[in-house]
Structure 1
Amino acid sequence: MQQLLAVDWGTSSLRGALLDGQGRVLKERSFARGILTVAPGDFATVFEACFAHWMGSAGTFCLISGMAGSKQGWLEAPYCACPAGFDEVASHLAWVKAGRIAIVPGLSCEREGIPDVMRGEETQVLGALQLLGLQDGLLVLPGTHSKWVTVRGGKIARFSTFMTGEFYALLRQHSLLARSMPEADGEVDWAAFDEGVALSLRGAGLLQTAFSVRTLSLFGRITAARLPSYLSGLVIGEEIRTQDFPAGAQVALIGAEALTERYGRALGQRGTSVQRVGAEASWRGLWALAQTIHPSWDT
């Protein structure tokens, strides 16, 4: 029986899972070897050091998603234009080693003449569609650069990127607001987080509401320990405020529990219910792509 080595090679980390013909995870490994730690020309060496023992079997096929396909990665996999589903993505693979190792392309789309891109998230979305049994829907991938993805007929029709996590870090560490907050975030204060979300949802925009971190602290209406959670609510609330979807809509959240829990609470203030999918979305997406490339994969 053939095996798939599914690899998620991002900016700061390298993860791999060995899957059987039915998509079951046999083994998993992770390394602090994101593409930023790899010198040009050393990607093959790093890959061999991490996964040679799994690639030793003649029947093992490898698919790699993420920033390994960027210009700074192992081999550039040019963006595939939306709308795109399994067939379109599979037809745009960049082959490192013919028949054995391939890199999944990122996706691109345009909104009002402005391009947007993703790398790695497309695999998570395609995997989540299978795990949740969806052909249409709105999927959100929270993170440093959050993605809001619209799926129609099993294809990614369009998406938008929001620099929410990065703006939180900038405000938290490098703005006037940082002076009011402790060095470490600490445990999430959910009441403070909810207050931040609520203000953003009814506010005029983050450029105005962010200053409330300063003034609430100045007048002693919120303690310093609660401010990071409050600021997190403000930036996530701002992201959600800008979205156009009807009350009562359902959203699929993909990602780590720590972030999807925050987004689930924030979306709840707009009357939106959520489904959640974790890291398994990447493995399921890569396995489904392997089936698209090799229709007899599980035989």
Structure 2
Amino acid sequence: MVVSAAAFIVVDWGTTNRRAYAIGHDGGVIETVRDANGVLSVARDAYAGEVAAMRARLGDVPVLCAGMVGSTRGWAEVPYVPCPAGIDDLVAKTLWVEPGRTAIVPGVSAGGARSDVMRGEEVQLLGAVAAGLAPPDALLCQPGTHCKWARMEGGRIADFRTTMTGEVFALLRHHSLLGDFLKGDVVDGPAFRDGVAMAGENTLLSDLFGERAAVLTGRRDAADVASRVSGLLIGSDVREQALRPGEPVHILADPALGQLYASAVAAMAAQPIVIDSHAAFLAGITAIWDKIHDR
């Protein structure tokens, strides 16, 4: 492996994790490094040293960062770009924290009746379109701790909304009476699909407590609770979007989580299309990098 072949380094810097890529002059990934040094683990005065360590490993080249590193908890706060937002808008507001050496891509905000923000997801959304993984006008879904649902128009982020689906599941697993029954793996099977169907009853809060009661009274197997509760939450999330029959939904996710959302989308009679989220991110950040050098 020839690390010196890197043209630049990309860092997807999240709240709890980060992933760094050394990108070659041909646009290919030379090396990927993933660790748990998200912004919650890094002091504000330590970012320069963290990036220097990345250069020591991946190459002494410019670094382009995206994600929570540009938040109030990160290296420097980079103001949000309001919707509608495209690659050119992000490039115009990119902040160089080390002139000519290290830059941070801004996040995106949505206004109107409901305020919303994202950092990092915008790169994936725009990259999915730039790479031809999704059409310029589409509904994109990014499952995760905070699931993003974005409407793309003309290749730009026209509007979006965030749901706390993954975080609610984590809170239930670690801090609720249901926790003892949520230790198992979540799989796309009968229990998960039962949960998705239950979401149509619009009785989420009582249904959650009912899962515990059903186990205690011997009506349900405790091993199925994690999958059923996940289905109930994801089903409620998908149902909120009021999808039209046959409507394509492009899902940017890893295979396991993508399959769960695809199953719930299909249950609503819409058309799920799973996209590689890492490929979308790399396409987006590379497009931003190319635009920066065209300026």
Q: Fold-level match, TM-score > 0.5?
A: yes
- Secondary structure (helix, strand or coil) at the match of 1:229 reads helix
- Secondary structure (helix, strand or coil) at the match of 2:178 reads helix
2:222 pairs, out of 221, 224, 235, with 224
Q: CA deviation at 1:133?
A: 4.9
Is 1:23 paired with 2:53? no
Q: CA deviation at 1:285?
A: 0.9
Query: 2: distance between equivalents of 1:237 and 1:138?
Result: 17
| 2:171 corresponds to | 170
Q: Which amino acid aligns with 2:100?
A: G
- Secondary structure (helix, strand or coil) at the match of 1:41 reads helix
Q: Is the 8 A contact 1:205 1:238 kept in 2?
A: no
Q: CA deviation at 1:171?
A: 2.2
Q: CA deviation at 1:50?
A: 2.5
Map 1:129-140; keep pairs closer than 5 Å: 129-131=129-131, 132-140=133-141
- Secondary structure (helix, strand or coil) at the match of 2:115 reads strand
Query: 1: distance between equivalents of 2:134 and 2:209?
Result: 43
1:7 pairs, out of 7, 11, 14, with 11
Q: Is the 8 A contact 1:150 1:156 kept in 2?
A: yes
Query: 2: distance between equivalents of 1:97 and 1:248?
Result: 48
Q: Which amino acid aligns with 1:86?
A: I
Which deviates the most, 12-21 or 36-45?
Answer: 12-21
| 2:247 corresponds to | 249
Q: CA deviation at 1:259?
A: 1.0
Q: Deviations over 1:176-227 (max 9, x none)?
A: 3335x16x22362611000000110x21242233233134324423200110
Deviating 4+ runs (over 4 angstroms): none
Q: Which amino acid aligns with 1:282?
A: F
Q: Deviations over 1:24-61 (max 9, x none)?
A: 112111122111111220111111112334342xxx33
Q: 5+ unaligned residues in a row in structure 2: which ranges?
A: none
Map 1:184-199; keep pairs closer than 5 Å: 184-186=183-185, 188=187, 190-199=189-198
2:232 pairs, out of 214, 231, 234, with 234
Q: Deviations over 1:238-283 (max 9, x none)?
A: 1011112211011111122221110011111011222222222211
| 1:121 corresponds to | 121
- Secondary structure (helix, strand or coil) at the match of 2:44 reads coil
| 2:206 corresponds to | 208
Q: Is the 8 A contact 2:70 2:104 kept in 1?
A: yes
| 2:99 corresponds to | 98
Q: Which amino acid aligns with 2:147?
A: S
Give the root-mean-square deviation of aligned CA atoms: 1.9
- TM-score of the superposition, structure 1-length normalised? 0.91
Q: Is the 8 A contact 1:76 1:94 kept in 2?
A: no
| 2:268 corresponds to | 270
Q: Which amino acid aligns with 2:286?
A: W
Q: Which amino acid aligns with 1:192?
A: A
Q: Is the 8 A contact 1:189 1:226 kept in 2?
A: no
Percent of aligned pairs sharing the same letter: 40
Q: CA deviation at 1:115?
A: 1.6
Map 1:137-148; keep pairs closer than 5 Å: 137-148=138-149
- TM-score of the superposition, structure 2-length normalised? 0.92
Which deviates the most, 242-251 or 274-283?
Answer: 274-283
Query: 2: distance between equivalents of 1:209 and 1:241?
Result: 16
Q: Is the 8 A contact 2:19 2:34 kept in 1?
A: yes
Q: Is the 8 A contact 1:7 1:14 kept in 2?
A: yes
Query: 1: distance between equivalents of 2:171 and 2:22?
Result: 37
Q: 5+ unaligned residues in a row in structure 1: which ranges?
A: none
Aligned residues: 289
Q: Is the 8 A contact 2:109 2:118 kept in 1?
A: yes
